[in-house]
């Protein structure tokens, strides 16, 4: 690794560790970063050029002048949210992520490299908090990955990294990949809780569980971790479990308290969370009032997400029962991921269907299963040409899954997918698995 990169990361880790333990330092970092972000955005990002700069002495007042925004609004005027610097940036200084979140609308966002370091610093903080004293060997279930790939050489000296994807039905998972995982000797597994559970089931099915030993910590994120899944994986792997709350667009937002399960400590040095009611009004008296989280990411300048509506609901409290000083959130409702159940009882990772639909770039999708072996894929498209891709997609699924899953493709309007609470839920797979 280039020494300069390591130096920058070490500096970030230092700030992270001090922020996490020292409340007043954390607040100071938050204010400085907000100030810096606003002064950049008001000069370089079209959407924010006209903000009233006289208020810049108090960044929180300036931030409050920005209207809340959701993903669809950003998609509608995408270029307004991207920095004018974007064409002159060295490609090593930025990266792009794709997601469709819980609403099923595909979306890509541009990040500065600092955001990546911030994520690493958060990871190092978690490892420290869970007393991972031996060299961390992290197996990450990453999606879109075929087979096993050892990325240790490309990572930092702090840990080893192995990547796998669960890209089909469990019955078809290759045993050779399981052996590569065993040889890698992971002591940490990270990924969606539902996929960590599926990996366990694959090992169980192949009678190789006795060879998967020494898992110390499971780091979950990217979906709502139900207590059912949490308890299952905790007992199955005989490991500690920590959940994280974040969004691809923003990065990490909060980390689960290590002693009170449903409280999450906010990374206040890297995000600001506000709460709004159903009419979009700010809830000032936050304790014990639920609302939608609105987040401002403080690290990414190239595409700033300021007062961004997350679509997630919950509560914010000013402290945690564990004694931690700082704001914590309690999530009320989020994305629950059950696998798709095939006719023969085999399971299919729901994320496989999701990733392919994101690649086709549909406007919105919804996966619905209530009977084993049958699924409804509801799709909203805006271009006729997408239809061809979607038929190809069904053909590919039919080829892979044979007669184990009846797929009903339904082309719909966006209004057809809105639930009783006014929101779209893209994952409605409700067949219970044992
Ligand atoms: Zn706590």
Q: How many angstroms is it from 34 CA to the middle of ligand 1? A: 25
pLDDT at 106: 77
Ligand 1 centroid distance, CA of 273 (Å): 17
| Nearest-angstrom CA–CA distance, 366 and 172 | 25
Write down the number of H helices and E strands in the chain.
10, 20
Domains of the chain: 3-118+246-333 (3.40.50.12780), 340-429 (3.30.300.30)
Rounded distance from Cα 327 to ligand 1 centre (Å) = 10
Name the nearest CA neighbour of 292 among 422, 111, 97. Answer: 422
Nearest CA among 28, 34, 27 for reference residue 296: 34
Give the distance (Å) from ligand 1 centre to CA of residue 315.
14
Ligand 1 center to residue 326 CA distance, Å?
9
Q: Which residues is 424 bridged to in the sheet?
A: 418
pLDDT at 243: 96
Residue 94 pLDDT > 80? yes
Q: Is a pLDDT exceeding 60 seen at residue 1?
A: no
Q: How far is the CA of 425 from the centre of ligand 1 (A)?
A: 30
Rounded Cα distance, 155 and 255, in Å: 23
User: 291-307: per-residue pLDDT in tens?
Assistant: 999 999 999 999 999 99
For residues 5 and 9, give the distance between their C-alpha atoms in angstroms, rounded to a whole number. 6
- Ligand 1 centroid to Cα of residue 294, in Å, is 21
pLDDT at 19: 95
> Which class for 81: exposed (0-12), middle (13-18), buried (19 or more C-beta within 10 A)?
buried
pLDDT score of 331: 87
Q: How far is the CA of 317 from the centre of ligand 1 (A)?
A: 11
Distance (Å) from CA 316 to ligand 1 centroid: 13
Q: Which residues pair with 364 in a beta bridge?
A: 380
Band of residue 55 on the pLDDT scale cut at 50, 70, 90: low
Give the pLDDT score at 334.
62
> What is the CA(242)–ligand 1 centre distance, in A?
12
3-state secondary structure of 112: strand
pLDDT at site 336: 67
Calculate how far, in angstroms, residue 322's C-alpha sits from the geometric centre of ligand 1: 4
Name the residues around ion ligand 1, CB cutoff 5 A. 257, 320, 322, 324
| Percent of the chain predicted with pLDDT > 90 | 59
CA of 218 to the centre of ligand 1 (A): 18
| 278 vs 123, higher pLDDT | 123
**For 324-381, what is each residue's pLDDT tens digit?**
999 999 988 666 678 899 999 999 988 888 888 888 878 888 999 999 999 999 998 8
């Amino acid at each position: 690794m280039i020494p300069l990169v390591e130096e920058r990361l070490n500096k970030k880790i230092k700030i992270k560790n001090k922020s996490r333990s020292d409340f007043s330092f954390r607040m100071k970092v938050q204010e400085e970063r907000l100030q810096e972000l606003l002064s950049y955005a008001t000069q370089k990002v079209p959407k924010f050029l006209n903000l009233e700069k006289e208020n810049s002495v108090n960044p929180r007042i300036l931030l409050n002048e920005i209207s809340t925004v959701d993903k669809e609004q950003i998609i509608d005027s995408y270029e307004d949210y991207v920095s004018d610097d974007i064409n002159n940036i060295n490609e090593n200084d930025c990266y792009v992520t794709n997601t469709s979140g819980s609403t099923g609308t595909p979306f890509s966002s541009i990040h500065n490299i600092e955001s990546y370091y911030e994520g690493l610093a958060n990871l190092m903080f978690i490892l420290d908090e869970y007393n991972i004293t031996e060299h961390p060997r992290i197996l990450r279930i990453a999606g879109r990955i075929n087979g096993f790939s050892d990325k240790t050489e490309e990572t930092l000296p702090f840990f080893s990294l192995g990547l796998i994807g669960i890209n089909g039905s469990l019955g078809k998972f290759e045993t050779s990949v399981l052996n590569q995982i065993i040889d890698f000797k992971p002591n940490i597994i990270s990924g969606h809780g539902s996929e960590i559970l599926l990996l366990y089931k694959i090992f169980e099915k192949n009678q190789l569980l006795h060879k998967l030993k020494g898992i110390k910590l499971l780091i979950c994120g990217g979906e709502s971790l139900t207590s059912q899944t949490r308890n299952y994986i905790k007992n199955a792997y005989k490991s500690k479990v920590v959940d994280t709350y974040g969004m691809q667009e923003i990065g990490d937002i909060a980390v689960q308290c290590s002693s009170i399960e449903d409280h999450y400590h906010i990374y206040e040095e890297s995000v600001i969370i506000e709460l709004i009611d159903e009419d979009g009004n700010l809830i000032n008296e936050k304790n014990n009032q639920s609302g939608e989280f609105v987040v401002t990411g403080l690290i990414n300048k190239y595409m700033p997400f300021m007062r961004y509506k997350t679509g997630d609901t919950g509560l914010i409290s000013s402290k945690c029962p564990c004694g931690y000083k700082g704001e914590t959130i309690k999530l009320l409702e989020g994305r629950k991921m059950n696998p798709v159940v095939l006719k023969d009882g085999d399971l299919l990772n729901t994320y496989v269907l999701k990733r392919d639909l994101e690649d086709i770039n549909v406007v919105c999708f919804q996966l619905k299963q209530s009977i084993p072996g049958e699924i409804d894929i509801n799709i909203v498209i805006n271009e006729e040409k997408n239809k061809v891709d979607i038929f190809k997609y069904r053909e590919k699924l039919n080829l892979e899954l044979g007669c184990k899953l009846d797929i009903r493709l339904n082309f719909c309007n966006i209004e057809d997918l809105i639930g009783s609470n006014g929101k779209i839920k893209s994952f409605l797979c409700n067949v219970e698995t044992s």
